[in-house]
Chains A and B, each alone.
Chain A
Amino acid sequence: MTYRDFSKQAMAYAASIGCSACELYFASGESFEVNANGGEIDRYSVSRDAGVSVRVSIDGHEGYAYTERIDEPEKLVDHAADNARCIESEDEHPMQTRQSYRSVTHVDSALKGLSETERIALAKRMEEVCLAADPRVRRVVYCAAEYGAGSVIMENSLGLLAERSSDTSAIYVMPSVQEGDEVQTGFAFRMGKEAADADGCAKESVAEALGKLGAKPVASGCYRVLLRPFAVCDLLAAFASMFSADEAQKGCSLLAGKEGRQIASELVTLWDDPFDEVAPRAFDGEGTPCVKKAVIDRGELKTLLHNLKTAKKAGAQTTGNASRRSAAATVGVAPTVFRIQPGEKAYETLLCELGDGLVITDLEGLHAGVDAVSGDFSLKAAGFLVQGGEIVRPVSNITVAGNFVTMMKDVTAVGNDFRFGLPQGGFFGSPSMLVSGLTVAGN
């Protein structure tokens, strides 16, 4: 059965069993992934897939069902209707109507025009460059190239019709280096239009690994900390749900009701920018036209992120932040491209301002060591010890602990060294940030 036929029959059937509205979300795509090891293809995977989710509304309640078998639309609608009938929450979740969208230019990612052989060559090249970069490089743990392309069609019985397609490219590598008995690993990645930069990526990863040799803990205590861009990106991703109106309405965000209040240092401006060239999109997960907005403007919380449901409940406008983690997932709330505005200061200047303290480059354990409800985090970390504005030695096997909300207030300088982190369910970008005090556990 074609998707066209499936969608027509699903819509007609939904109306016939008393659904007041019916929406279909059809996603299809292809993917490519290769990992090289010892000059050979070690892991290789290609795919082509498609799935459709149906959402129906009955008596103001909505139910979902998803399938990857594009047949029997009636059965799928029945599942969704059953699910709608068990909903007890009184919160209405309206569907979007027909909209017009601004046109968005999507720059092709680097691997799009490459043949399969060329993509494989990129992975192999990273391994070669790593191994040749320094005699202390012992092996490459992984070095992978990935490409994905996908398209989405959304349509509903209220007239909505929205379509988009996009593609993504990424390469990433982790070498391990050894000196005596000590083993350290490094990591680097490139994405989007930079994803063909195998040499740069490999060299960066080796430099990172070598920089960690000789790392040891520091004494436990309270330190001034310079967080490098990737560390801030990780924290931003981990605490992004604080900015969700959905979490706020469920009583799970400390930012609930704080709109218009100063929640961060005046140095902090946070953008939700759906048009950023890293991943531009015209509409959100329920077909609402996207808008760029400052979420924090010079420290002041301007808005939480809304979809149609949370906006209706709050008596506000949707901010175009409806999300679907996958076609199979229900509609939620999430940032589009979340990025902290860079400042003027170079990294070296920030080191001088830090004086005595720690540079934190890596945070680990983010799926466990953060509490998005309380804002608390306690994470394994690595970086450098800084004395008198100079890097003294690498640091590892420490934890840093703090509170995200408190930390945003304690920002004393923002760098000009903006980077996007590896995408994690969304895009998060930041420059380095100097914060006044985090608690460190070491020895």
Chain B
Amino acid sequence: MIREETARAVLAEAQKSGADYAELFLEDNESTRIEMIDGKVESANYARICGAGVRVLLGTKSAYAYGADTSERALLEIARAAAAALGEAKAAPGGEVSLPLTRFTTPVRRPFDTIGNAERVEVMRTGARVMKQTSGEVTQALVRYLDQVQRVTIVSTDGVFVTDERPRTRIFLQAVAMNGSEAQTGYSGPGCCRGFEAYEDVIDVEQHAKIAADMAVTMLHAPECPAGNLPVVIDGGFGGVIFHEACGHSLEATAVGRNNSVFCGKLNTKIAADCVTAVDDGTLPGEWGSINVDDEGGTPQRNVLIENGILKGYLIDKLGSRRMNLPSTGSSRRQGYLFAPTSRMTNTFISPGSDDDEEMISGMAEGLYAKKMGGGSVNPPTGEFNFSVAEGYWVKNGKIVSPVRGATLIGKGSEILLKIDRVGKNMWMAPGMCGSLSGSVPTNVGQPRIRVSGMTIGGKGGAIE
């Protein structure tokens, strides 16, 4: 914990070239990663990442300096480096700010530093066993385990002085099914922002192991997906990655504030079908993408992005707020001290609608049912996105006729949002890691089952009869 006096000195040093805002971010992040192959622990690694970063702003100019040494002398040096980027030293802006300390913690019943490797390995072994037991075609079961506590302190000239403790854990289960020369993989990777009690309370490892194994085996027997432009039903949970890529990134101040987004100047106009309401909510207790405080010391909130098809808000950090002349939305995030913070998503989802899950498929002449999505990416200036379908099924005359592998979906965010013609009733979320300017941060994506009336489906298969 840094002393208030030291923090003040660092901020004062950072403002010496005239910055109108300075912020110090200290991080101490301990993590344990274990990898298991076919039920045997293959590697185990502990890492402690510690360092500090100082950011200064002058209007919309910004500079960031960081280092691993957090001694007072080193912090002052970092502050000087950040200040130097803005120009020559001049009189610092007057006025001492008061810095009352606020401490945030995440309620944890079983902290990771009280858990031995044996207990971690036991959880992993369950996953490996269930994957292998599910089918004889599962030739390899891979389990990766992560737990992590990120402790941060944020001090700024806005009078912010907060500490936060962010425990997270994730288990990634991957099954490989093989016959002859063909191999397909299936996976599931639940995670949350809790202590080790997560494996008793919220994460059912056996269930996720079975999902991974079933997916690998199903895909092993699936023909290649045909290509074309057809309706697509996208299931809930990780299916929400479509909104994350097609729209979420283009609503971040990083894109909007620089006029690099197709959604610039579209507030209070219709950008999506009437059935679409979308939210980014960092306040949901224990969720993978949740934060107690954002990485500028701001308060996370429930941000309604789209309401009944109308654009209602963006995701805005401090710098974005200055560029866009809109208040920040508690959306400033970063991987750690190696990155200056910027506007990012937390738990982002399409809200439940009123359509029937079964009808979406039974009312479709021909198309794709994407049960599980893989990852994707987007180019915000054009809004063009792509993502892969990890588990897909071909639908004909309202019935699922075959699983299909190797499908990709592409399109433009602004077009796809208007083509959503069904939104189901049950919303759920799934975790992912989202990479952008401020590094890789944990985010949840989510949605109920939805249908898009037409999308470009990529694949190399022929027609499915």
- Residue positions of A touching B, CB distance < 8 A: 37, 40-51, 63-69, 79-80, 82-91, 139, 141, 176, 183-185, 217, 220, 250-252, 254, 328-330, 364-365, 367-369, 371, 373-374, 376, 378-380, 396-402, 438-443
A330 proximity list for chain B (CB < 8 A): 43, 45
| CB <8 Å contact, B45 and A66 | yes
**B107 at interface by CB-CB < 8 Å:** no
Chain B residues numbered 15-66 whose CB sits less than 8 Å from any CB in chain A: 34, 37, 39-51, 60-66
A80 proximity list for chain B (CB < 8 A): 46
| CB <8 Å contact, A397 and B456 | yes
Closest B residue to A376 using CB positions? B406
Closest A residue to B28 using CB positions? A69
| CB <8 Å contact, B140 and A399 | no
A250 proximity list for chain B (CB < 8 A): 37, 140, 142
| CB <8 Å contact, B85 and A41 | yes
**B190 at interface by CB-CB < 8 Å:** no
B184 proximity list for chain A (CB < 8 A): 371, 373-374
Name the distance in Å between B253's Cβ and chain A's nearest Cβ: 13
- Determine which of B65, B375, B410 lies in contact with A46 in the assembled complex, contact meaning CB atoms within 8 Å: B65
- Determine which of A67, A89, A184, A254 lies in contact with B47 in the assembled complex, contact meaning CB atoms within 8 Å: A67
Closest A residue to B43 using CB positions? A330
CA distance A402 to B227 in the complex (A): 12
**B311 at interface by CB-CB < 8 Å:** no
| CB <8 Å contact, B407 and A378 | yes
A378 proximity list for chain B (CB < 8 A): 225, 388, 406-408, 458-460
Sample of 10 A–B contacts (CB below 8 Å) = A41-B63, A42-B61, A47-B338, A79-B46, A82-B44, A83-B44, A86-B41, A88-B41, A251-B183, A397-B456
- Determine which of B45, B85, B182, B408 lies in contact with A369 in the assembled complex, contact meaning CB atoms within 8 Å: B408
With A44-B62, A46-B81, A89-B40 in contact, do A364 and B377 touch (Cβ < 8 Å)? yes
**B283 at interface by CB-CB < 8 Å:** no
| CB <8 Å contact, B140 and A251 | yes
- Determine which of B65, B181, B229 lies in contact with A45 in the assembled complex, contact meaning CB atoms within 8 Å: B65
Closest A residue to B381 using CB positions? A176
- Determine which of B34, B44, B376 lies in contact with A365 in the assembled complex, contact meaning CB atoms within 8 Å: B376
A379 proximity list for chain B (CB < 8 A): 386, 408, 458
CA distance A328 to B45 in the complex (A): 8
- Determine which of A49, A251, A368, A402 lies in contact with B68 in the assembled complex, contact meaning CB atoms within 8 Å: A49
- Determine which of A86, A252, A373, A443 lies in contact with B118 in the assembled complex, contact meaning CB atoms within 8 Å: A86
With A49-B67, A401-B458, A401-B459 in contact, do A44 and B85 touch (Cβ < 8 Å)? yes
A91 proximity list for chain B (CB < 8 A): 42
CA distance A45 to B262 in the complex (A): 28
CA distance A401 to B258 in the complex (A): 34
- Determine which of B44, B68, B260, B456 lies in contact with A87 in the assembled complex, contact meaning CB atoms within 8 Å: B44
**B457 at interface by CB-CB < 8 Å:** yes
| CB <8 Å contact, B68 and A68 | yes
| CB <8 Å contact, B227 and A49 | no
CA distance A380 to B456 in the complex (A): 10
Name the distance in Å between B28's Cβ and chain A's nearest Cβ: 8
With A42-B61, A80-B46, A367-B375 in contact, do A184 and B460 touch (Cβ < 8 Å)? no
CA distance A103 to B221 in the complex (A): 53
A440 proximity list for chain B (CB < 8 A): 227
| CB <8 Å contact, A87 and B42 | yes
| CB <8 Å contact, A176 and B388 | no
Majority secondary structure, B binding face: strand
| CB <8 Å contact, A399 and B67 | no
CA distance A139 to B264 in the complex (A): 14
Nearest first, the 5 A-B pairs at minimum CB distance are A399-B458, A441-B227, A368-B375, A83-B44, A380-B386
| CB <8 Å contact, B51 and A68 | yes
Name the distance in Å between B213's Cβ and chain A's nearest Cβ: 15
Name the distance in Å between A143's Cβ and chain B's nearest Cβ: 12
**B382 at interface by CB-CB < 8 Å:** yes
| CB <8 Å contact, A371 and B34 | no
A90 proximity list for chain B (CB < 8 A): 40
- Residue positions of B touching A, CB distance < 8 A: 34, 37, 39-51, 60-69, 81-82, 85, 116-118, 121, 139-140, 142, 176, 178, 181-185, 224-225, 227-229, 258-260, 262, 338, 340, 374-377, 379, 381-382, 384, 386-388, 405-408, 410-412, 437, 456-460
Closest A residue to B409 using CB positions? A399
A68 proximity list for chain B (CB < 8 A): 48-51, 68
| CB <8 Å contact, A402 and B229 | no
CA distance A80 to B46 in the complex (A): 7
| CB <8 Å contact, B65 and A364 | no
B60 proximity list for chain A (CB < 8 A): 40, 42
- Determine which of A64, A184, A369, A401 lies in contact with B43 in the assembled complex, contact meaning CB atoms within 8 Å: A64
| CB <8 Å contact, B41 and A365 | no
With A68-B51, A369-B388 in contact, do A82 and B45 touch (Cβ < 8 Å)? no
| CB <8 Å contact, A47 and B66 | yes
| CB <8 Å contact, B42 and A89 | yes
Closest B residue to A185 using CB positions? B381
With A139-B260, A378-B460 in contact, do A89 and B377 touch (Cβ < 8 Å)? no
Closest B residue to A85 using CB positions? B117
Name the distance in Å between B62's Cβ and chain A's nearest Cβ: 6
CA distance A376 to B224 in the complex (A): 10
| CB <8 Å contact, B228 and A441 | yes
Name the distance in Å between B134's Cβ and chain A's nearest Cβ: 17
Name the distance in Å between B246's Cβ and chain A's nearest Cβ: 13
B181 proximity list for chain A (CB < 8 A): 254
| CB <8 Å contact, A67 and B50 | yes
- Determine which of B46, B63, B405, B457 lies in contact with A441 in the assembled complex, contact meaning CB atoms within 8 Å: B457
Name the distance in Å between A400's Cβ and chain B's nearest Cβ: 8
CA distance A87 to B117 in the complex (A): 10
CA distance A90 to B45 in the complex (A): 17
List 9 additional contacts besides A141-B258, A400-B458, A401-B227; criterion CB under 8 Å. Answer: A45-B63, A67-B47, A68-B68, A83-B34, A88-B39, A176-B381, A183-B262, A367-B375, A378-B407
Name the distance in Å between B211's Cβ and chain A's nearest Cβ: 18
CA distance A374 to B63 in the complex (A): 44
Closest B residue to A65 using CB positions? B46
Name the distance in Å between A289's Cβ and chain B's nearest Cβ: 25
A40 proximity list for chain B (CB < 8 A): 60-61
| CB <8 Å contact, A51 and B68 | yes
B82 proximity list for chain A (CB < 8 A): 46
Name the distance in Å between B382's Cβ and chain A's nearest Cβ: 5
With A47-B338, A89-B41 in contact, do A183 and B406 touch (Cβ < 8 Å)? no
| CB <8 Å contact, B65 and A371 | no
CA distance A369 to B384 in the complex (A): 15
| CB <8 Å contact, A402 and B460 | yes
With A64-B45, A183-B381 in contact, do A47 and B65 touch (Cβ < 8 Å)? yes
Name the distance in Å between B4's Cβ and chain A's nearest Cβ: 22
CA distance A440 to B458 in the complex (A): 7
